[in-house]
């Protein structure tokens, strides 16, 4: 049975992950850690780490896992290019599941977005609106950026060149080649994402709304169980769900 280490265990997400582990008969809770605890000190008590903390902490946990040959599931967002490169390099030596959103519904939405972009993307203005709780510090969310990346790739565009983050003042008419992002932060919103394809006379919207963190926790625990006996590599929830 897979033994899981949960880092950031006292936080809201950490507590939800622990609850999910207890509900899953394919995994067991190996150890819990919080800020100040050393992962290297309990290296023999787990097989895989689940991490939903902050980029700087994640990279430290990743370093320990790489040295010990342990797997890791990363749900943290907000990495810069250097951080992403470190994750990619580590995945050459250990199994890594890295996904901006572990929800089954979100990952199904990504597949639907790819289909929609290929069918109507060239004929539409594409806008992405996301909302999260007031404590979320990165914007746009990692999920929103992933949605934009999926759409851009389906259309043969480079998101780094066609993304527009917010609008203000008097501008030129909208360029159809761009993909717009809008961010909302407030209250206790778990996570909401809508991608709209605006066409002449009609609009197609693909929306995902999360009402509980358990959706993300269950996905992360499912990913941990899936990693059993997997070789080194960088895996996504798309791999785990086979979509």
Q: What is the mean pLDDT of the chain?
A: 95
Asked if residue 221 and residue 187 are part of one domain, the reply reads: no
Query: pLDDT over 70 for what percent of the chain?
Result: 100
Would you call 132 a catalytic residue per the annotation?
Answer: yes
Would you call 133 a catalytic residue per the annotation?
Answer: no
d(CA 59, CA 63): 6
Question: pLDDT for 2-28, tens place per residue?
Answer: 999 999 999 999 999 999 999 999 999
* Structural domain count of the chain: 2
Asked if residue 117 and residue 56 are part of one domain, the reply reads: no
The confidence score (pLDDT) of residue 141 equals: 94
d(CA 37, CA 47): 17
Which among 63, 136, 228, 230 is annotated as catalytic?
136
Asked if residue 195 and residue 126 are part of one domain, the reply reads: yes
Residue 168 in this model has a pLDDT that exceeds 90: no
Asked if residue 137 and residue 67 are part of one domain, the reply reads: no
Residue 169 in this model has a pLDDT that exceeds 90: no
pLDDT bucket at 171, cuts 50 / 70 / 90:
confident
Cβ–Cβ under 8 Å, residues 120 and 197: yes
Beta strands in the chain (DSSP E): 2-7, 27-33, 48-51, 71-74, 95-98, 125-132, 163-165, 179-185, 191-199, 202-210, 233-235
Residue range of the domain that includes 143: 104-210
Find the length of the chain.
243
Which among 70, 132, 193, 208 is annotated as catalytic?
132
Question: pLDDT for 105-118, tens place per residue?
Answer: 999 999 999 999 99
pLDDT bucket at 243, cuts 50 / 70 / 90:
confident
Asked if residue 201 and residue 217 are part of one domain, the reply reads: no
23 alpha carbon, distance to own chain's centre: 22
Asked if residue 41 and residue 92 are part of one domain, the reply reads: yes
Residue 154 in this model has a pLDDT that exceeds 90: yes
Asked if residue 47 and residue 20 are part of one domain, the reply reads: yes
Class of residue 208 by CB neighbours under 10 A (exposed 0-12, middle 13-18, buried 19+): buried
Rounded (10°) CA dihedral 14, 219, 130, 112? 180
Question: What residues contact 174, with CB distance under 8 A and at least 6 apart?
Answer: 125
Asked if residue 194 and residue 218 are part of one domain, the reply reads: no
pTM higher than 0.75: yes
**120 three-class SS:** helix
d(CA 185, CA 126): 21
Over residues 132-143, the mean pLDDT reads 93
Q: What is the CATH number of the domain that holds 44?
A: 3.40.50.720
d(CA 167, CA 170): 9
Asked if residue 10 and residue 44 are part of one domain, the reply reads: yes
Residue 143 in this model has a pLDDT that exceeds 90: yes
Question: pLDDT for 40-90, tens place per residue?
Answer: 999 999 999 999 999 999 999 999 999 999 999 999 988 999 999 999 999
């Amino acid at each position: 049975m897979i033994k899981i280490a949960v880092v950031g265990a006292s936080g809201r997400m950490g507590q939800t992950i622990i609850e999910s582990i207890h509900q899953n008969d394919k995994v067991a809770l190996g150890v819990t850690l919080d800020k100040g605890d050393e992962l290297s000190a309990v290296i023999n008590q787990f097989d895989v780490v689940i991490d939903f903390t902050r980029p700087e902490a994640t990279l430290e946990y990743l370093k320990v896992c790489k040295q010990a040959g342990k797997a890791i599931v990363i749900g943290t967002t907000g990495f810069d290019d250097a951080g992403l490169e470190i994750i990619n390099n580590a995945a050459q030596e250990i199994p890594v599941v890295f996904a901006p959103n572990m929800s089954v519904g979100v990952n199904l939405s990504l597949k639907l977005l790819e289909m929609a972009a290929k069918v109507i993307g060239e004929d539409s203005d594409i806008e992405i609106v996301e909302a999260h709780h007031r404590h979320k510090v990165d914007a746009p969310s990692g999920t929103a950026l992933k949605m934009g990346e999926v759409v851009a790739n389906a259309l043969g565009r480079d998101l780094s060149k066609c993304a527009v983050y917010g609008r203000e003042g008097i501008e030129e008419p909208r360029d159809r080649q761009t993909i717009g992002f809008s961010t909302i932060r407030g209250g206790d919103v778990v996570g909401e994402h809508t991608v709209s394809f605006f066409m002449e006379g009609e609009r197609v919207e693909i929306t995902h709304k999360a009402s509980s963190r358990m959706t993300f926790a269950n996905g992360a625990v499912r990913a941990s169980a899936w990693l059993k006996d997997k070789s080194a590599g960088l895996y996504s929830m798309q791999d785990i769900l086979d979509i």
